[in-house]
Amino acid sequence: MDGLADQIDAAVAAINSATGGVTAKVGVILGSGLGALAERIDDAVALPYADLPHFPRSTAAGHAGRLMVGALRGTDRQVVALQGRFHLYEGWSAQQAAFPVWVMKRIGVETLVVSNAAGGLNPSYAVGDVMLIDDHINFMFQNPLTGVNDESLGPRFPDMSAPYDRGLLELAESVARRDRFFCPRGVYVGMLGPTYETRAEYRMARRLGGDAAGMSTVPEVIAAQHCGLKTLGLSTITNACSPDQLGETTHEEVVKAAASAGEKLRAIVEAVVVSTG
């Protein structure tokens, strides 16, 4: 982590210069097919990642690759949204994938909502369901905190007993009850990718307690815990991963299925933003 604080400062300076200063308390990472939520940010300042110092480039399909700052419609409160993220399978390190989280913390964000598209391991899940991440398993076997720790960013050994905030989970559940949609808690299994899993790998992940599997989120949540952000994780179930009835999965199908959960995600994110006061 040598030099990381200086890189964060450079990115923050560029963001503040372009926006005139950020007052947002909530940051949102929009995953595959979920970038449409950015259309609900009014008077947005959109900054391409290419214009931000030390930001990687988002190459995944369905990821616009820009940071947006503005008021979330229906709340009149400012948010910071990442329209696209960075995956280890693209060749980035876990620290690079998590870099925007430390940047959001430095510009004043206190609560992080991270979303993703995931394959459903739990047989009770259907395509289009939203799973609240209650915990995760790191099968990426990489960690953004590897190396010399910078105590100004966070502790050497962050506790990971509850990286997903209980109060935010309960808030999301109350939204699901109000709007009458299925929104279970479950365990997210972070896989390296870029290949989708084999039948044996899906079977293993399920037997070890996984409810959904994807290729992101874990490095970002570790960084969020490291720097003290309250975090809510949302997985849109984009395909059923029954190992005994496994069909071919394409990224295009995943993006299309992820978009189908947009209204559910919007309702939860709006509730989180309003709750920050």
Spot the catalytic one: 11, 14, 32, 118: 32
Q: Is 32 annotated as belonging to a binding site?
A: yes
Query: Cβ–Cβ contacts within 10 Å for residue 126, how many?
Result: 10
Is 242 marked active-site?
no
Catalytic pick from 60, 212, 215, 261?
A: 215
Name the DSSP class of 74. T
Q: Is 143 annotated as a binding residue?
A: no
Q: Is 136 known to be catalytic? A: no
Catalytic residue among 87, 116, 191, 258: 87
Please indicate whether residue 251 is annotated as part of the active site.
yes
Active site residue 87: yes
Residues contacting 24, CB < 8 A, separation 6+: 69, 77, 78, 79, 80, 107, 108, 109
How is residue 43 annotated by DSSP? E
Burial of residue 176, with CB atoms counted within 10 A of its CB: 0-12 exposed, 13-18 middle, 19 or more buried: middle
Told to judge if 215 belongs to the known catalytic residues of this protein, a careful annotator would answer yes
- 216 labeled binding residue: yes
CA angle centred on 260, ends 180 and 252, rounded to 5°:
155
202 is catalytic: no
Spatial distance between the Cα atoms of 26 and 160, rounded to a whole number of angstroms: 21
Catalytic residue, candidates 201, 251, 253, 260: 251
> Is 157 annotated in some ligand binding site?
no
Q: Tell me, yes or no, if 89 is annotated catalytic.
A: yes
Catalytic residue, chosen from 58, 68, 239, 267, is 239
Catalytic site includes residue 140? no
Active site residue 220: no
Ordered alpha helix ranges (H), 180-232: 199-207, 218-227
Instruction: Say which residues have a Cβ less than 8 Å from residue 251's Cβ, sequence separation at least 6.
Output: 32, 61, 62
Instruction: Give the other-Cβ count within 10 Å of 6's Cβ.
Output: 11
- What radius of gyration, in Å, describes the C-alpha atoms of the chain? 17
Q: Which of 63, 98, 196, 212 is catalytic?
A: 63
275 is catalytic: no
87 annotated to bind ligand: yes
Q: Check whether 136 is labelled as a binding-site residue.
A: no
Which residues does the annotation place in the binding site? 32, 63, 85-87, 117, 197, 216, 239
**Active site residue ranges:** 32, 63, 87, 89-90, 117, 215-216, 239, 251
Which residues does the annotation place in the binding site for a purine D-ribonucleoside? 197, 239
Which residues does the annotation place in the binding site for phosphate? 32, 63, 85-87, 117, 216
